[in-house]
Amino acid sequence: MKKKKYPKYIEWFSPEEMHENSRSWISQLAFIQHEQEFLNGLITFYMRQLADTRLFKRSKEIIQELLKKEKDITRLHDKVVKHESQLDIMLDEVDQPKMEQAYRDEHHDLIQEMEAYEIEYQKTKKLLFKLISEIIKKEKQHHLLN
């Protein structure tokens, strides 16, 4: 069996720190869900302009990526909640080295998955804001010319 390679500091995480990580992730995901609702409203508001033939391909890609990220939120949230509920493995007084190591491995995987998700989500969100900004600028120019 191939041993996972990651920094030894994960071994030093106390159960309290892992609990705090999990609670923080749940909070971040809840915030992103609310933010996603805002972005969906923004997309709906500018739908006519986003469907414009000059922007359609680009806007379609961004919207599809946002929809994918929205689905990932639910999957990640469920995964973190499940992980959090299994924290008692680390807290009980029973010495279970394999189960404790498996929990640490899963915690490490979640650290990486959350970081990767946030980076990709931020990239997609920036692309959407850039696109909406372009639309707003064009509308202002059109309004000023008329």
Cα-to-chain-centroid distance, residue 37 = 14
If you average pLDDT over every residue of the chain, what do you get? 87
Give me the pLDDT at residue 1, please. Answer: 44
Backbone angles phi, psi at 53, to 5 degrees: -60, -30
Give me the pLDDT at residue 119, please. Answer: 96
Q: Is the dihedral of CA 106, 108, 110, 112 positive or negative?
A: negative
Residues 6+ apart with CB under 8 A from 58: 131
Give me the pLDDT at residue 71, please. Answer: 93
Give 54-69 pLDDT, tens digit per residue.
888 999 999 999 999 9
Tokens 């404790």 belong to residue: 100
Under-50 pLDDT residues of the chain: 1-6, 8
Q: How far apart are CA 31 and CA 11, in angstroms?
A: 29
User: In the chain, where are the structural domains located?
Assistant: 9-141
Q: How far apart are CA 80 and CA 20, in angstroms?
A: 12
